[in-house]
Amino acid sequence: MYDFDKIIDRHATANIKYDLRSKFFGKDDVLPMWVADMDFETPDFIRDAVKERAKHPIYGYSFREDSYYKSIINWIYRRHNWDIVAEWIVYSPGIVPALNFSTLAYTIPGDKIIVQPPVYFPFFTAVTDHDRVLLNNKLLLSNGKYYIDFDDFEDKAKEASMFFLSSPHNPVGRVWTKDELTRLGEICVRNNVIIISDEIHNDLILPGFKHIPMASLSEDISDITITCVAPSKTFNIAGLATSSVIISNEILRRKFEKVVNNLHLSMGNLFGAVASQSGYTYGDSWVDLLMQYVSANFKIVEDALNITDGAIKLIPAEATYMAWLDFRGTGCDDEKIKEILINKAGLGLSAGPIFGDGGEGFQRINLAAPSSIVIVAMEKLLHAFNF
């Protein structure tokens, strides 16, 4: 029904992943598997909806209609069993902006904010760019799986005002369980820590796993949780700058809205709203098929790395289309790994150290690409490391 094998030429479309390779890798000819968007077509029902709207000759000031909110509410109920209402939904141009708005809305300079590295790097700057203080609750890696250090989290929660949660977690690929989320949530409730639950990858769940929205766990937890969701990763429309922040607590919602409104960012993007509504209305089977395809790509990587006998390992993923690869068994330091990947393998990946503490010796590779490309990437990788 959908052709995920199709290779699409993205050159010269002003896209970061391909067109800025020289800037980030010092050369143009690396196979780009870094930026977290997909090399798959945005589904036809979204493109058709955007084209239909584009036919009207005026793209003036716009607002989001009731049907836009309905599509989000229904999707979240259908896909994630969480009942929300339109009043809780606040527009944000993106989730990284939403993290920064949260810092401005709920904390003051000097306040402490918990993050769980290795984690998506804008979590750090959403703290430090505003003169707030990072508290690193480093994830624990045991037998190829990441866990939360709850004792350390509980200690840090005593002095923190806020917590940036990545759920599912980028880059380690965990879908946090109900038990893990409940423990985190309850510690935050006890210690008055506001939870910013970045659930941008909530729809990208691999077969066999189930995402649970943090705020759906209990009223107490919902009361302190700001949930960030978006159609951008789900349907490959990050360029359309349209996301949602769900806040059931009216006081917290007003504070968040004040930041967005004071910056005059609430109007949003006309085409983003059209695309979002279409995706959330028609996208169920597309996402299911997408994640089956991505799951097969993970298998390609796992099989390929088997021959390295543990020198390069795949951390088994539960969600996202990012694979987190452990190169520590190669004996190379980060500089050397990077040098081999760029210059010998010709691969453009995301270097582990940018994800903070615990990222050393790792690399993140984006598997939202046709399988033929993933196979080529694995051949290049194995050859470059002499396997």
Ligand X SMILES: Cc1ncc(COP(=O)(O)O)c(C=O)c1O
* Positions that interact with ligand X (CB under 6 A): 36, 94-97, 120, 166, 170, 198, 200, 230, 232, 238, 243
> Is 369 within 8 Å of 7 (Cβ atoms)?
no
User: Between 172 and 188, whose beta carbon lies closer to ligand X?
Assistant: 172
**Closest to 198 in 3D by CA, of 101, 318, 302:** 101
Q: Which residue has the CB atom at the shortest distance from ligand X?
A: 94
Cα 43 to Cα 76, 129, 200, 271: the distances in Å are: 19, 36, 18, 15
In whole angstroms, the minimum distance from the beta carbon of 190 to ligand X comes to: 26
Q: Which is nearer to ligand X, 175 or 340 (CB)?
A: 175
Contact between 337 and 363 (Cβ < 8 Å): yes
Question: Which CB, 68 or 120, lies closer to ligand X?
Answer: 120
How many CA atoms are closer than 13 Å to the CA of 182, on its beta-carbon side?
5
Least separation, in Å, of the C-beta of 97 and ligand X?
6
Residue 310 has φ and ψ, to the nearest 5°, of: 90, -5
Q: Which is nearer to ligand X, 120 or 271 (CB)?
A: 120
Rounded to 5°, the CA angle 16-22-26 comes to 135
Residue 170 vs 249, nearer CB to ligand X? 170
Nearer to ligand X, 187 or 238 (CB): 238
Q: How far is Cα 249 from Cα 82, in angstroms, rounded to an integer?
A: 16
Cβ 36 to ligand X shortest distance, Å? 3
Q: What is the nearest approach in angstroms of ligand X to the Cβ of residue 366?
A: 10
Q: Which residue number, 127 or 200, has a Cβ lying nearer to ligand X?
A: 200
Query: How many Cβ atoms are within 10 Å of 355's Cβ, its own excluded?
Result: 23
118 preceded by a cis bond (ω within 30 of 0): yes
Instruction: Please report how close the Cβ of residue 346 comes to ligand X at its closest, in angstroms.
Output: 23
Q: Could you tell me which of 385, 356, 368, 380 has the C-alpha nearest to residue 33?
A: 368
The sign one gets for the Cα dihedral 382, 146, 201, 296 is positive
Determine the Cα–Cα distance for residues 371 and 294; give it in Å rounded to an integer: 9
Minimum separation from the CB atom of position 307 to ligand X (A): 30
CA atoms within 13 A on the CB side of 193: 28
Question: Minimum CB separation from ligand X for residue 326, in Å?
Answer: 19
By beta-carbon proximity to ligand X, the closer residue of 239 and 316 is: 239
Minimum gap (Å) between residue 39 Cβ and ligand X: 15
CB of 238 to ligand X, least distance (A): 5
Mapped onto helix, strand or coil, the DSSP state of residue 288 is helix
Which residue number, 30 or 230, has a Cβ lying nearer to ligand X?
230
Question: For residue 336, how many other CB atoms are within 10 A of its CB?
Answer: 12
